[in-house]
Amino acid sequence: MKFFIDTANLEQIKEAQDMGILDGVTTNPSLMAKEGITGTDNIMKHYVNICKLVDGDVSAEVIATDFDGMVREGEALAELHDQIVVKLPMIKDGIKACKYFSDKGVKTNMTLVFSAGQALLAAKAGATYVSPFIGRLDDISTDGLNLIAEIRMIYDNYEFETEILAASVRHTMHVIDCAKLGADVMTGPLSSITGLLNHPLTDIGLEKFLADFKKGN
Ligand code: G3P
């Protein structure tokens, strides 16, 4: 399972990268705004800075909602760095743009996916990644993990190569459940990654090992 971090915060990206377990980064306009990165030039520069920090794919989202605009923005984003993945909204023109970019060999991430039907369309359009937002489904009392299971079954039935990128992951149990269901990738906040480290028996055990070592020295 690949681990992506879902943030535009450079320190958090660096912290995850330094652990040696990071496979990529996802961003969106809200995450950019949260870091105070505004204006096209600054946003473009920030994507390059993120690419310099990590080894893997970096999803950069278009703002346009029409095909021509998405192609224009997506091409500019893809030119920034070879790690950039063009992130497109799950609407009709987004699917058209996804097909356009996949035919050209440019990596794509279909975002704002909330149904198996949308995920099927994304795979048909050749998306590199499909991003079902599990946390936002949970927010409206709908089982986000069930969507991961449905997409896994559909993609396996037809051997689609599109990778299931579980997004809107909020906590460690989302990560573990997505891994059990066979999601190819998860993207979540730093806490959903570092939280996997925690177990009280580890802390108690380490404390005892160190205390016993001191007794003997
Ligand atoms: O990866 C998608 C993500 O940024 C949305 O997460 O927590 O805002 O639903 P959230």
> What are the domain boundaries of the chain?
2-215
Cβ of 28 less than 6 Å from ligand 1: yes
Provide the residue-wise pLDDT of the chain in tens; the chain has 217 residues. 999 999 999 999 999 999 999 999 999 999 999 999 999 999 999 999 999 999 999 999 999 999 999 999 999 999 999 999 999 999 999 999 999 999 999 999 999 999 999 999 999 999 999 999 999 999 999 999 999 999 999 999 999 999 999 999 999 999 999 999 999 999 999 999 999 999 999 999 999 999 999 998 8
Q: Which CATH architecture has domain 2-215?
A: Alpha-Beta Barrel (3.20)
Strand 108-113 vs strand 84-89: parallel, antiparallel, or unpaired? parallel
Cβ atoms of residues 47 and 84 within 8 Å: yes
Distance CA 49, CA 154 (A): 36
Question: Would you call 193 exposed, middle or buried from its count of C-beta atoms within 10 A (0-12, 13-18, 19+)?
Answer: buried
**Dihedral over alpha carbons 164, 170, 174, 176 (to 10 degrees):** 100
Cα 143 to Cα 120: distance, rounded to the nearest angstrom = 18
pLDDT at 46: 98
pLDDT score recorded for residue 216: 84
Mutate which of 2, 34, 90, 133 for ligand 1? The one with the most ligand atoms within 8 Å of its CB, which is 133
AA identity, residue 168: S
User: What per-residue confidence (pLDDT) applies to 148?
Assistant: 98
Quote the CA–CA distance of 209 and 44 in Å, as a whole number: 49
Q: State which of 3, 4, 27, 28 you would mutate to test the pocket of ligand 1, scoring each by most atoms of that ligand within 8 A of its C-beta.
A: 28
CA 22 to CA 34: how far, in whole Å?
22
